[in-house]
Structure 1
Amino acid sequence: MAIVHHWTGLEAKALRSALRLSVRAFADRLGLSTTTISNWERLLAATKPRPDTQAILDTVLARADAAVHLRFETSLSESGGPPGEAGRRVTPAGPRAWEYETWTDDLDRAVVALSRQSFAFADSLLNRWLTRFEPAELDDKGLYLFARSTALLGDLQRDQGSLLGPFSAHHSYARARSVFTQLDIPRRVAQLDLSLAVVAEMSGKLQTAARRYENLAVDDRLALRDRARARLWVGTSLSKDGDHVYATRVMTVAVREFEDLAEPDDWSVAHQKLALARRGAGDLTGALQFIDIARSSGTADSPMQRVRLDTAHGHILLSDEATRDDGLVVLDQAAEVAAQYQLVHQLRSIGGIKAMSQGPAGPRPR
């Protein structure tokens, strides 16, 4: 059943229509004048009934049968509000109860779409809400959904390789972090700090990223899994910066933590990172051992993860003259999948690896 948190003239008109009452009959039902009802219907979302009248409207709606509720919700769903300046449509002030539920469902769908790299669909799910409401018109529940949507938009932009600038992962993560700070939700703020550190790493700011990861690896605001991921990414940054031995030690601790947490996918990813660290240290036998564990133990149903695994595998094979041709084949296959799913950052990484394949060490994929 529909619940209205803040009545405006728009909702009041929809209720009158759902009850199938004339303006005069509706006014009599509420104990108000017909002039008041007429003003509501003229101003719609631009006017709000008094608090005592809002309580009366709550009661009338609560006592209505299911057919009235259905007509009420249908009327509101079809209404974009009255024309405003320059033909702009004026929307109701803030989402209603069923919109919160739909918004939450769309966020769940966006998470699934992102895991499958269905970027266009995920973008449409997120932006239908981010462009519909301004933070100033939202209550705490709406702000929470707005911040989650913005953070997921950051994930989308990061996966597509848009890292810095006004329409980038960094911008979206920073905006989401600001809203979660306003809501005083420390765990979400720390998670956004972790995401911002990932962007720093992917942008080549390896020492900055490593310092942030080190702090977050012992940050009590984060869950144990997120702290283990931060520790793993400390190792990733160190390895990319050439400190392969210490990176291996840090990553090995993260592997044990993922074992204790029974997180097989993270455990697999950790072995992928270990493989690249061992490759950087010149231990190709160990690198091949770790990448085989990663390829056989983790789920690779995500195009992103398939590309990451194949890129790491190809990078290692390319490091040995005896397996160089095999490495090029694996990298070409990874590039095809990356191009198909518009994984721009991975494409750049693959191109960099191939371009520098004659050197002792090239760029490493995330």
Structure 2
Amino acid sequence: MARRRSVRAFAQELGVGVRTVSNWEARGAAYRPRPDTQAILDTTLARCDPQTVLRFETLLTESAGRPGLPLPLRSSLRLWEYETWVDDLERAVAALGRQDFMFASDLLDRWRSRWPAKELDDRGLYLFARTTVLLGDLQRDQGSVLGPLSAARSYLEARSVFEQLAVPRRVAQLDLSLAVVSEMSGKLTDAATRYRQLATDVRLSSRDRARAQLWVGTALDKTGDHATAATFMTAAIREFDALGEPEDWSVGHQKLALAHRGAGNLAQACQLIEVARRTSTTASPMQQVRLATAEGHILLSDPETAGEGIAVLGRAADTAAHYGMSHQLRSIEGIRRGFEQPARALQRA
């Protein structure tokens, strides 16, 4: 249902019989797949777009109550209101993907302010928590990571609800998001430690564990431990290759390029950033800015390509400013300052 595919089409995609899929659907939550079947289903879900995952997880909340929790006794929401809420969250996910922060914010605020959380049943609470997670993603992408109206506050609020609903995978994903916030706020050692723990956390999907491993490297690279960072990044890249995740694989090369730049291996850094640029599959303005920032930083490190690096960073800064990506803009300005200060000192000498 979440994929909006016929039983026959879904069976063909998975390589199983139509009767098998019909049996799964008929048995619902009572069905417990064999390990090999579960692996196929997990892989299929991991490759779905965020809107499909949202529909799938929302449908799960309609099944029997979770162990240890009472069945819902209260809710002022009607079925059509739930469906409208899900539709608006899908639209918010799409808006965040293109960095349309104003539209996404309007959609999320509409539902967060509509009912007090205490008046919602389990399904409503789940949607409230998903709304709050997306609000945190919006705040993070805009660069608001600490304070009362920040990504950290939103993620902690959503985490509390998912703990109440006993959804461990979502709790772990929010732990990962909170580690990202720690890294963005400069708490690099804390972030690296948390990433290491989450890289082996079985509550997370294989893809999320590989991302955590990549981000261990990112945090370590920022502390100056470039060699150890490259080791973690290389392992994550191999995992993305095995999982068939081309965009994560491309981003991994982008991060690894910066680690080699930090270690002074500019030729290797240039090769890796070219791989990242050539294989990137997303048109997201955020990823375009991140990739251009990394490329500009590498080009700026070589006197022969410094002029080109300034131009690349200038274009990245213009895009970041246009979409309101304040954290990315601060990163670009920091790179510029790091280049300009030694240059001015050399001129004075």
TM-score between the two structures when normalised by the length of structure 2? 0.76
SS at match of 2:250: helix
SS at match of 1:357: helix
| TM-aligned CA deviation for residue 94 of structure 1 | 2.8
Counterpart residue number, 2:239: 257
Gaps of 5+ in 2: 1-73, 343-349
Q: Counterparts of 1:119 and 1:94 in 2: how far apart (Å)?
A: 29
Q: Counterparts of 1:115 and 1:287 in 2: how far apart (Å)?
A: 28
Query: Is 2:109 the counterpart of 1:123?
Result: no
Partner AA of 1:270 in structure 2: G
Q: Counterparts of 1:144 and 1:275 in 2: how far apart (Å)?
A: 39
Asked whether the 8 Å contact 2:117–2:125 carries over to 1, the reply is: yes
Counterpart residue number, 1:176: 158
Deviations 1:300-331 (A, max 9, x none): 41100110000000000000011000000000
Residue correspondence of structure 1 range 187-266 to structure 2 within 5 A: 187-266=169-248
TM-score between the two structures when normalised by the length of structure 1? 0.72
Query: Is 2:248 the counterpart of 1:271?
Result: no
Partner AA of 1:139 in structure 2: D
Q: Counterparts of 2:208 and 2:340 in 1: how far apart (Å)?
A: 37
| TM-aligned CA deviation for residue 359 of structure 1 | 7.1
Partner AA of 2:95 in structure 1: A
Counterpart residue number, 1:335: 317
Counterpart residue number, 1:294: 276
State percent identity of aligned pairs: 64
Q: Counterparts of 1:315 and 1:223 in 2: how far apart (Å)?
A: 32
Q: Counterparts of 1:359 and 1:222 in 2: how far apart (Å)?
A: 43
Flag the structure with larger Rg. 1
| TM-aligned CA deviation for residue 93 of structure 1 | 5.5
Deviations 1:165-224 (A, max 9, x none): 000000000000000000000000000000000000000000000000000000000000
Q: Counterparts of 1:94 and 1:127 in 2: how far apart (Å)?
A: 18
Counterpart residue number, 1:24: none
Counterpart residue number, 2:44: none
Q: Counterparts of 2:200 and 2:115 in 1: how far apart (Å)?
A: 36
Q: Counterparts of 1:101 and 1:358 in 2: how far apart (Å)?
A: 53
Asked whether the 8 Å contact 2:75–2:121 carries over to 1, the reply is: no
Q: Which runs of 4+ in 1 moved over 6 A?
A: none
Deviations 1:131-181 (A, max 9, x none): 101110000000000000000000000000000000000000000000000
Picking from 78, 86, 89, the partner of 1:104 is 86
| TM-aligned CA deviation for residue 117 of structure 1 | 0.1
SS at match of 1:321: coil
Query: Is 2:294 the counterpart of 1:312?
Result: yes
Distance verdict in 2 for CA 1:205–1:181, change over 3 Å: same
Counterpart residue number, 1:354: 336
Partner AA of 1:288 in structure 2: C
Counterpart residue number, 1:143: 125
Partner AA of 2:244 in structure 1: A
Partner AA of 1:332 in structure 2: G
Picking from 121, 129, 137, the partner of 1:155 is 137
Partner AA of 1:157 in structure 2: Q
* Alignment size in residue pairs: 269
Deviations 1:221-244 (A, max 9, x none): 000000000000000000001000
Q: Counterparts of 1:152 and 1:290 in 2: how far apart (Å)?
A: 32
SS at match of 2:305: helix
Gaps of 5+ in 1: 1-91, 361-366
Q: What RMSD, in angstroms, separates the aligned Cα atoms of the two structures?
A: 1.2
Counterpart residue number, 1:11: none
| TM-aligned CA deviation for residue 299 of structure 1 | 1.9
| TM-aligned CA deviation for residue 357 of structure 1 | 1.2
SS at match of 2:183: helix
